[in-house]
Amino acid sequence: MKKLLTVITLGLSLISFAGPRKALDEATKSQLIKVLEKNEALHASFFEYKGEEVEKNAKELINAISEVKNEEVAKLLKFSSEKLATLTKDEDRQKNNDTYGLFSAALVHVVNTYDVGEGYNAYQCPMVKKKWVQNSKKMNKVHNPYAPEMPNCGGKITRF
């Protein structure tokens, strides 16, 4: 058990210090912050699961993603943003969770790769094996959007 905790701690330390993120021009950074803010709303609708809100917030997030003009960043979000269109109030929660997990993995990659400023961090839940981006300045406590039975399960895996 001690060995496992040591390995986990070391792994998280390495993730936190993975190196500098790529700088963004102000326009792209602003566009990505808007995407992250729209993701916050979608994240909240999953945390308290409201199907109508999930669908509405997914559409708003898709619109924000379409405003990202940087080709490199837009390419990273393109496939997963197309998947967001399948998030509907009538869809099964588990399927919506899986779709949101796919999108979140892409968003985690973007946040880890590009300097969007402080506050947005990657989190993960080892029980459901999914990651998400959360605004740590607004909510430092874990808000797991995937497991209503364990809303605070998981941890922060980056320190931005």
pLDDT digits (tens, 9 = 90+) for 5-28: 344 444 444 444 457 999 999 999
The whole-number pLDDT of residue 16 equals 46
The angle subtended at Cα 78 by Cα 72 and Cα 83, nearest 5°, is: 160
pLDDT at 13: 44
Q: Is 92 helix (H, G, I), strand (E, B) or coil?
A: coil
In the sheet that holds 130-135, the strands lie side by side as 130-135, 120-125, 155-156
Number of structural domains (the chain) is 1
Q: Does residue 147 contact residue 127 with C-beta atoms inside 8 Å?
A: yes
Q: If residue 110 lies in a helix (H) or strand (E), which one and from where to where?
A: helix 93-113
Report which of 87, 23, 36, 82 is spatially closest to residue 58, judged by C-alpha positions. Answer: 87
Over 90: is that where the pLDDT of 120 sits?
Answer: yes
pLDDT at 36 over 60: yes
Asked whether 138 and 118 are in contact (CB, 8 A), the reply is no
Confidence of residue 3 (pLDDT cuts 50, 70, 90): low
Mean pLDDT of 40-45: 97
The percentage of residues in the chain with a pLDDT greater than 90, rounded to a whole number, is: 86
Domain that holds residue 13: 2-156
**CA distance to 61, 87, 91, 98, per residue, from 133 (Å):** 14, 18, 23, 15
Q: What angle do CA 122, 124, 130 make, to 5 degrees?
A: 115
Q: Is the pLDDT of residue 156 over 80?
A: yes
